[in-house]
Structure 1
Amino acid sequence: MNQRLFAMPFGSIYPLYVQKVQRKGRTSAELDEVLTWLTGYDASDLERHIAAGTTLEDFFAQARLTPNASLITGVICGHRVEDIEDPLMQKIRWMDKVVDELARGKAVEKIQRS
């Protein structure tokens, strides 16, 4: 199961994130702000990874995660993100968690744990 998720292209997940946040009244610009904060990429990097079909494994292998990523806590998909042992799975779930927080209306500044 994990290997299938790790091999999934970031570009196939990104539009689902956009739909999720827009359904809740948030913008793709806010989504990009949260994703760039988490990954260290800029907007053009995100576009490049989407266009290239970069897998989640490679997407996170090249990312420069924010030092505040470890402050992301809570439950996503029935698992506490701070307790996930596989480092790559934890990074993917951190991303899911911050997107979920954005969709739920949390302020970007609070999501960024600054």
Structure 2
Amino acid sequence: MGDRRRVGAGEYAERVNAAARLLEGGVPVVDAALVLSARFAVSLRQARRYVDVASSGGRVVVPETTVVFTVKLPAVLADRIRDDARLRGATISSLVARALGDFLASARAGNTEDG
């Protein structure tokens, strides 16, 4: 239990959801923490945190796996994206992912503006 690293969002969701399954199965909180501690090689204290999250909110959504995808954009467009992300308090990746998702959904529906 000594590497002291933070887990990624997917691993975190996996651990909270494991805690939720144990609780849903009727396992007492203390026992659920013991099981998680052993299963994920984390401290009992950290395992209890996963159980606490699961007991207060249930299961959490497992985020999709992401990949790096590099594109070249005109500098003006890249600046606009950066500015918009900053104003929204969002990441550039989330902003671009949403915009591309919306564009592709529109294209599938036959509503592209590029004609």
The TM-score bracket by the shorter chain reads: under 0.3
More helix by share: 1
Higher Cα radius of gyration: 2
Higher normalized contact order (CA 8 Å, seq sep 6+, divided by chain length): 1
TM-score (norm 2): 0.27
TM-score (norm 1): 0.27
